[in-house]
Structure 1
Amino acid sequence: MNLMKIYLYILLFVSSFGFAQTGSISGKITGGRDAIPSVNVILSPLGTTTVADADGNYSFKNIPNGSYEIIFSAIGVKTTRKKVTVNSATPVTLNIALQEDSQALDEVVITGTMKEVSRSESSIPVEIITPKLFKKNPTPSLFEAVGMINGVQPQLNCNVCNTGDIHINGMEGPYTMILIDGMPIVSSLSTVYGLSGIPNSIVERIEVVKGPASSLYGSEAMGGIINVITKTPYKAPVVSADYFLTSWGEQSLDAAVKLKAGKATSLLGVNYFNYNVKADKNNDNFTDVTQQNRISIFNKWSFDRKDNRIFSLAGRYVYEDRWGGELNWTKQWRGSDSIYGESIYTRRAELIGLYQLPTTERIFTQFSYNWHDQNSYYGDTPYMATQQVGFIQTYWDKQFGDNHTFLLGAAMRYTVYDDNTPATANPDLSNEPQVTPLPGLFIQDEWAINSKHKVLGGYRFDYDKNHGGVHSPRVAYKFSPNMHNTFRASFGTGFRVVNLFTEDHAALTGARDVIIAEALNPERTYNGNLNYVLKVPTQYFVLGMDVTGFYSYFTNKIVGDFDTDPTKIIYDNLNGHAISQGVSVNTDLQFNFPLKLMAGISYMDVFQKEERAGGGVDKIQQLHAPKWSGNFIGTYTFNKNYSVDVTGNWYGPMRLPILPNDYRPEYSPWFCVANIQFTKKFDYGLEIYGGMKNVFDFVPKYALMRPFDPFNKTADDPVANPNGYTFDTTYNYASLQGRRMFLGVRYNFF
């Protein structure tokens, strides 16, 4: 019995000694003043993991005495590591403030629902590009910057004037709606030039929604939306500047300053781009890149109001002089048929406003106006056009209970368009500008069934004088079984009230009557998306993956018949349909050492089926829509604030516009345009950067057809031109700019 007691005493002593050798770690995780919930906390080398609660608190208990490393990681913040020593005598308290990640995947977004929500909470998948991201490959305009988003393709459509549009999932530019602060500022005539000259210094982020969003934004949003969100003035740096130049002679200056005037804060930005070097690397006697001289001035004001109500007002003015053509062209030959040149003068003014009504309910009014004037000659063909667009909408943002977020609004868009072509002329050749009023109503409800399930329903009704009433419903569903997995499914319809008067009319000769078929219907699309987002935090890295499958069915495509009657342009709906379908995958890998990788790949099949008059169906692959494409971004940060960025885009074969009996291939080759940049950050907001664009020096093998006869003066000679070729500028799939160095400096003072 005594032996048993001794054994028990020894056991209790050993046990108490063991418990005495353990301790605890606890703390609170914040981001500035606010707590950050759901942060993954890993205790290394034990591998023990916990997740911070809703108030940012975390804890580990019964930790053996010793030295450890704690790893804090979450999507949207920088992964942070801290050393701690556990001692049984004193509990360890480690509070930490995490920094926002410059490549965060969980920013606030508004484009999908017209409301500010966390990206992870949005029922609609939204892709984001931030200034810190597109500065990894500095560009003189946002037109080029958006190419860093997988599935978004800036497409040059002319090898001489270098005009272009933006394709989303292979669909042409007119199917992409471009917004500035949610306003349809850039559309129709101005789409080609609208993203050029927006100062990068005033951009907070760019949001992209793929697929139709006409239930909220109306006409043109049937292929997707690009929304440029400008900075709130009081959040902007006091002074910011970015200047770079390239070995090809391009110069870009981007600067902004914040001003305070009483209860108002202003952000004044300017962008200047100049390129005046007549490069001709392919020896066809034509400029490889258009000469450009562009200045853009932007000013945005935010006003302090009672109860933090919102009132902002912004304006922008753009002037651009661009030309491309034969190397010996000067302005004295503008419009002549002696020396070929395409010269375009563009003037543009914009006004944007947002006002929250002084009521207890959240009621907002948005308004915008833009004036766009284009004075251009394409060889000896003049094209003079002016477009004015006024837009106003009011919406009520209401929360019903804890689960329903409601939106109800009305909008009015008024477009006036005029040009010098027969398309805007009466049969007696008198001028008749096109006037298009487009009123609409929209409603949306987002129902949070519980923490895992959310449903969104929306509907919009628009009335067009030519098409009548247009209905656009959509529905979306989001399922988040846990913080690491999110599933989204959406279905919607889109429409486009077509502006029949475009630059295509500049090619017309003689008087033509514009005939619109009586039963002309608006272009429609039916779209479905399935989206899966995976977030995997580990001890060594955080992996993010975003997979989207999409399918869009387009009907009633409006085409112009120029052949049936040479005195008429007959507009009618396509006798068939078009399809855009595919899969897009984006990955984001952030290691616990300073390496970050992002990559995307898209497969898409975009085509049109048209029924023949005599029976049968023709399948036509969409121009400039490669089945395979992708992008990549890699960043490594060294000690002493040195970093290197590798970026690039690659494309598979795409169908190109060719002439009959063309010797140029109908499909482009596989190609990749890669870039590298080195950056050194100094104190006080100064950065110096430099690198190389188009590292592999890829340029298209073929460009212009018959550049020696741009006015087709000898095109009808059967001996000299047996195939009947004509001067052609549209065969394009990549920039003609080859490898070039660049050097720049940035400065931000807060």
Structure 2
Amino acid sequence: MKKRNTRLKISLLSSLMFFIVLKSNAQAISGVVLSSGEGVPFVSIAIKNGEGVLSDENGRFNLPLGREGEYWVYFTAVGFEKKAIKFNLKLNEVLETEIILVSNVSVLNEVVVTGTMKESTVSQSPAPIQVLHPTFFKSNPTPSVFEAIGMVNGVRPQINCNVCSTGDIHINGMEGPYTMVLIDGMPIVSSLSTVYGLMGIPNSMVERIEVMKGPASTLYGSEAVGGLINILTKNPSNSPRFSVDVSSNTYLENAVDASYAFSKNQIANLFTANYFGLNKRWDINADNFTDLPTIQRVSIFNKATLGKINPLNVALRYIDENRFGGEMQWSPENRGGNEVYGESIYTDRLEVLAKYSLPLANEKVNLQFSYNKHDQNSVYGDVSYTASQQVVFGQAVWDKVINDKNDALFGAAFRSTLYDDNTVATVTDENVNAPSLIFLPGVFVQNETTFNNRLKLLSGLRADFNSKHGFIFSPRLNLKYAMGNEATFRFSLGNGYRVVNVFSEDHAALTGARQILIEPNLLPEQSYNANLDFQKFWLRDNGYIEIQLNAFYTYFENKIIADYDVDPELIVYGNLNGYGVSRGLAANSSFSFKSETKLDLGITLVEVYNENNGVKADQIQTPKATSNYAISQRIPRWNLTIDFTGNLTSPMRLPTVPAYGDTRSEYSPWFSISNLQFRKKWTNGVELYCGVKNLFNYLPIDPIFRPDAPFSEEFDPSYNYAPLQSRKFFTGLRYNLR
């Protein structure tokens, strides 16, 4: 069994984060942002051309400043009019203030960065961005971002194996490899790390999540075909001094999220630690296979901000996970053997991120750097898969205002990916191990042209050079037209280009008993994408209403698919002799009333298919219709909130093996998973929550084919369309100390 010295690694990570302590003056503006007597959470508070902070859940904030003197401070938040106030600070003065914001939903001034790689607001961004805060996810508590993101309409976590529960994230019906996941704007989660790494991102490190559906290859690289998820980590200077979230449920899944933050002189630091554990083996459906994998996962995250003006931000994250799924009688002595079937995965991952703004008087130039190393030691029955991936990324971005109508962005990026495993993917024809090393330098440029207060055009072009496949060009066009203060049209065009590693992206290549056949000389995939978006707000005396409609279309050339139908004993990977299409419609609505009632409702209709050799087939595990709903009612008298959340999923095509007598339906049934929660909050920072998940106790039938013969060619655990968890009750406790 693999041995890892976790304690030593944690010590090294902690030591690296405390290597600078500088002395400086301690001017600051501190206070609370209120509206109608209530604290306003997540208000953006910033000085002109400088750093900013967000208010906490109670509206409190602390804005450190590097010198005494005069400052204009800007306060912006979703649903409130923007406010600018001039402050005069004396040397070492900490000024206490109370800010009153006026409600105005139509302004939509929340700051976002994902759509244009520069600070903008939701209303002004040419690309449609959905912003999600931790308060949104609290209505259905989960141990990681992977489960939490499923509350977003059109974004669906997909479990790909009923034994080890590996998964990916689908956006608008497009499979996980077409979704780019960023941390603080950098491509940290990709390729090998998408298999299990997504489940290791705890909610405690997240300040907000920005979701962009549609092409983003011009700024973020050719892999951002279906869309991207940008996970923005907490600001150390604005985080609670101490916070903890402890939860458990009737499946005996236990989770602990804890964080500690401090500021001293010119350094602000945030340290978070997360533990998730499930030790008990469950077999509710009595097929002698675990319904859920047992998991022991530790994740730590440390972020430091060094300096007040043009600060250096440095972050480190480490994940260690031990996961098992398989036959109930499996023991570690059976690992890799052919007597008792088990899937055992050890994951070891390290990430380093850094960001710095150059101290230039009249220019805004940002530097970014990241490094991640992902090691996976795993067995799937008697098949061993050992892989290692290292990714180095660097980027320089120059944000240049040309004139009052043109705002440009120039950038240069470099990424190298070193990948090695024990499969045929890294073996030459002479049977010699040959790790894959890909260099990907690139340059990009975009310009945002504002014709008037209604019409805005964003155009861009990116050129990357892939050391194995040559030049890659990714153009982009976004058009925004505001019909007024409360209605906006957005139209976008773009393309993508993607190189596939089937072993790191498709779990089916490793599990089950089918043999893998990869056609020679696979061509990179190319895609062309168009999106049309309409957004409108209505402000009423008793609340507000938001409606968003979206139509999308993506066309694929050279799409690489896994063919399950050509031979029941094979999975054949090859380029389509034809084309692929993903198209659909989505609708989102949000209602918020002064009666403390909030309703979010979304529906997505998609058709995703491939036409190969003139035969049209629906994409595996892609429902044609999904719906998400969340209803929250706050009772101020008791400071109690009741949340009812869930989803509705239409039939989807599933992998079956009729050649071996598989009589299961090729399509899943309609099903719904609903959750109910009660939250009680006290003024001392304590919050108690409890509830039930899968309220109506829905369970899929026969998720594994031939569980009695796991080492035979008939065994197949990929028939997944719903969670293998029956009704479960949960409870938890949160505490925040400012």
Q: Same fold (TM over 0.5)?
A: yes
Pairing of 1:11-50 with structure 2 (within 5 A)? none
Structure 1 pair 132/33, CA: closer, same or farther in 2 (3 Å)?
Answer: closer
Equivalent AA in structure 2 for residue 423 of structure 1:
A
Assess if the C-alpha contact under 8 Å between 2:516 and 2:572 holds in 1.
no
Q: CA deviation at 1:499?
A: 3.0
Assess if the C-alpha contact under 8 Å between 1:102 and 1:133 holds in 2.
no
The TM-score normalised by the length of structure 1 is 0.82
- Give deviations 1:412-450, integer Å, cap 9, x for gaps: 110001111122112332211011111111101111111
Structure 1 pair 105/666, CA: closer, same or farther in 2 (3 Å)?
Answer: farther
- Give deviations 1:706-742, integer Å, cap 9, x for gaps: 1111112xx6xxxxxxxxxx11100000111010000
Match of 1:526 in 2: 528
Query: How far, CA to CA, are the matches of 2:457 and 2:44 in structure 1?
Result: 32
Equivalent AA in structure 1 for residue 582 of structure 2:
S
Match of 2:401 in 1: 399
Match of 2:612 in 1: 610
Secondary structure of the 1:607 match is strand
Q: CA deviation at 1:104?
A: 11
* Residue 248 of structure 2 corresponds to residue 250 of structure 1: no
Larger radius of gyration: 1
Equivalent AA in structure 2 for residue 542 of structure 1:
Y
Equivalent AA in structure 2 for residue 619 of structure 1:
K
- Give deviations 1:391-420, integer Å, cap 9, x for gaps: 111110111222221100011110001111
Which of 616, 625, 629 is 2:626 aligned to? Answer: 629
Assess if the C-alpha contact under 8 Å between 2:106 and 2:538 holds in 1.
no
Match of 2:224 in 1: 221
Structure 1 pair 577/162, CA: closer, same or farther in 2 (3 Å)?
Answer: same
Assess if the C-alpha contact under 8 Å between 2:298 and 2:320 holds in 1.
yes
Q: CA deviation at 1:464?
A: 1.3
Match of 2:297 in 1: 294
Which of 386, 389, 394 is 1:387 aligned to? Answer: 389
Which of 656, 662, 679 is 2:654 aligned to? Answer: 656
Match of 1:723 in 2: none
Q: CA deviation at 1:470?
A: 1.1
Assess if the C-alpha contact under 8 Å between 1:30 and 1:97 holds in 2.
no
Equivalent AA in structure 2 for residue 736 of structure 1:
L
Structure 1 pair 729/564, CA: closer, same or farther in 2 (3 Å)?
Answer: closer
Equivalent AA in structure 1 for residue 624 of structure 2:
K
Equivalent AA in structure 1 for residue 678 of structure 2:
F
Match of 1:18 in 2: none
- Give deviations 1:44-69, integer Å, cap 9, x for gaps: xxxxxxxxxxx9xxxxxxxxxxxxxx
Match of 2:57 in 1: none
Query: How far, CA to CA, are the matches of 1:533 and 1:325 in structure 2?
Result: 47
Match of 2:669 in 1: 669
Match of 1:335 in 2: 336
Match of 1:346 in 2: 347
Assess if the C-alpha contact under 8 Å between 2:525 and 2:556 holds in 1.
yes
* Residue 711 of structure 2 corresponds to residue 711 of structure 1: yes
Match of 1:314 in 2: 315
Structure 1 pair 508/342, CA: closer, same or farther in 2 (3 Å)?
Answer: closer
* Residue 440 of structure 2 corresponds to residue 452 of structure 1: no
Query: How far, CA to CA, are the matches of 2:560 and 2:132 in structure 1?
Result: 33
Secondary structure of the 2:123 match is helix
Assess if the C-alpha contact under 8 Å between 2:314 and 2:354 holds in 1.
yes
Query: How far, CA to CA, are the matches of 1:288 and 1:225 in structure 2?
Result: 31
Structure 2: 5+ residue stretches without partners: 1-35, 47-71, 82-97
Match of 1:324 in 2: 325
Assess if the C-alpha contact under 8 Å between 2:513 and 2:716 holds in 1.
no
Match of 1:744 in 2: 732
Match of 2:551 in 1: 549
Structure 1 pair 562/699, CA: closer, same or farther in 2 (3 Å)?
Answer: closer
Match of 1:535 in 2: 537
Secondary structure of the 1:353 match is strand
Match of 1:126 in 2: 129
Match of 1:146 in 2: 149
- Give deviations 1:347-400, integer Å, cap 9, x for gaps: 000001111122231111111110000000101111100011111111101112
* Residue 717 of structure 2 corresponds to residue 729 of structure 1: yes
Query: How far, CA to CA, are the matches of 1:33 and 1:602 in structure 2?
Result: 31
Match of 1:84 in 2: none
Which of 136, 140, 143 is 2:139 aligned to? Answer: 136
Which of 193, 197, 216 is 2:196 aligned to? Answer: 193
Query: How far, CA to CA, are the matches of 2:596 and 2:517 in structure 1?
Result: 64
- Give deviations 1:458-517, integer Å, cap 9, x for gaps: 110111133211111011111112111111111111121323553565469999997752
The TM-score normalised by the length of structure 2 is 0.83
Match of 1:206 in 2: 209
Equivalent AA in structure 2 for residue 107 of structure 1:
E
- Give deviations 1:79-124, integer Å, cap 9, x for gaps: xxxxxxxxxxxxxxxx982489999965321111111111111100
Q: CA deviation at 1:657?
A: 0.7
Aligned residues: 649
Secondary structure of the 1:215 match is helix
- Give deviations 1:8-30, integer Å, cap 9, x for gaps: xxxxxxxxxxxxxxxxxxx9x99
Secondary structure of the 2:257 match is strand
Query: How far, CA to CA, are the matches of 1:292 and 1:105 in structure 2?
Result: 41
Structure 1: 5+ residue stretches without partners: 1-26, 36-54, 56-72, 79-94, 612-616, 716-725
Match of 2:597 in 1: 595
Pairing of 1:226-241 with structure 2 (within 5 A)? 226-241=229-244
Query: How far, CA to CA, are the matches of 2:579 and 2:147 in structure 1?
Result: 31
Q: CA deviation at 1:195?
A: 1.9
Structure 1 pair 403/508, CA: closer, same or farther in 2 (3 Å)?
Answer: same
Query: How far, CA to CA, are the matches of 2:299 and 2:209 in structure 1?
Result: 19
Structure 1 pair 624/104, CA: closer, same or farther in 2 (3 Å)?
Answer: farther
Structure 1 pair 514/439, CA: closer, same or farther in 2 (3 Å)?
Answer: farther
Query: How far, CA to CA, are the matches of 1:104 and 1:268 in structure 2?
Result: 35
Which of 373, 376, 381 is 2:375 aligned to? Answer: 373
Secondary structure of the 1:482 match is coil
Assess if the C-alpha contact under 8 Å between 1:197 and 1:271 holds in 2.
no
Query: How far, CA to CA, are the matches of 1:100 and 1:653 in structure 2?
Result: 42
- Give deviations 1:526-547, integer Å, cap 9, x for gaps: 1111111110111223111111
Query: How far, CA to CA, are the matches of 2:430 and 2:297 in structure 1?
Result: 39
Query: How far, CA to CA, are the matches of 1:711 and 1:102 in structure 2?
Result: 59
Query: How far, CA to CA, are the matches of 2:274 and 2:105 in structure 1?
Result: 23
Seq. identity, % = 47
Query: How far, CA to CA, are the matches of 1:481 and 1:599 in structure 2?
Result: 24
Assess if the C-alpha contact under 8 Å between 1:212 and 1:223 holds in 2.
yes
Pairing of 1:674-685 with structure 2 (within 5 A)? 674-685=674-685
Q: CA deviation at 1:746?
A: 0.3
Match of 1:584 in 2: 586
Query: How far, CA to CA, are the matches of 1:731 and 1:422 in structure 2?
Result: 26
Assess if the C-alpha contact under 8 Å between 2:215 and 2:529 holds in 1.
yes
Match of 1:179 in 2: 182
Query: How far, CA to CA, are the matches of 1:222 and 1:447 in structure 2?
Result: 24
Query: How far, CA to CA, are the matches of 1:570 and 1:196 in structure 2?
Result: 28
Assess if the C-alpha contact under 8 Å between 2:247 and 2:256 holds in 1.
yes
Query: How far, CA to CA, are the matches of 2:164 and 2:515 in structure 1?
Result: 26
Q: CA deviation at 1:127?
A: 1.4
Query: How far, CA to CA, are the matches of 2:633 and 2:649 in structure 1?
Result: 25
Query: How far, CA to CA, are the matches of 1:227 and 1:177 in structure 2?
Result: 8
466-475 vs 596-605, greater mean Cα deviation: 466-475
Secondary structure of the 1:287 match is coil
Query: How far, CA to CA, are the matches of 1:693 and 1:497 in structure 2?
Result: 39
Equivalent AA in structure 1 for residue 342 of structure 2:
G
Q: CA deviation at 1:551?
A: 0.9
Query: How far, CA to CA, are the matches of 2:473 and 2:226 in structure 1?
Result: 16
Assess if the C-alpha contact under 8 Å between 1:541 and 1:590 holds in 2.
yes
Match of 2:422 in 1: 420
